């Protein structure tokens, strides 16, 4: 038998997110967009760190007049 706290938590999550389809779909879209932004910015920072000095933004001052 589940504990009372877990039962209350699952009931609250169900009532706030899963009960109405429109709220569930909106939660999925907001979560997906948030994950995309976080993943994109993290991978860009890793890429820039690994390729420092090799990218156009790092060397363009040598070629512009």
- What percent of the chain clears pLDDT 90, i.e. is strictly above it? 80
Its pTM stands at 0.68
Read off the pLDDT of each residue in 27-55 and give the average, rounded to a whole number.
Answer: 97
The pLDDT, as a whole number, for residue 64 is 87
Q: How confident is the prediction for the chain on average, in pLDDT?
A: 91
Within 8 A by CB and 6+ apart from 2, the residues are: 10
Q: Of 5, 31, 4, 3, whose CA–CA distance to 17 is shortest?
A: 31
Within 8 A by CB and 6+ apart from 35, the residues are: none
């Amino acid at each position: 038998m589940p504990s009372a706290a877990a039962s209350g938590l699952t009931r609250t999550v169900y009532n706030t997110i899963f009960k109405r389809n429109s709220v569930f779909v909106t939660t999925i879209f907001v979560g997906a967009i948030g994950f995309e932004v976080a993943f994109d910015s993290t991978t860009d920072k890793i890429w820039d760190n690994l390729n420092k000095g090799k990218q156009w933004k790092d060397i363009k001052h040598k070629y512009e007049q």
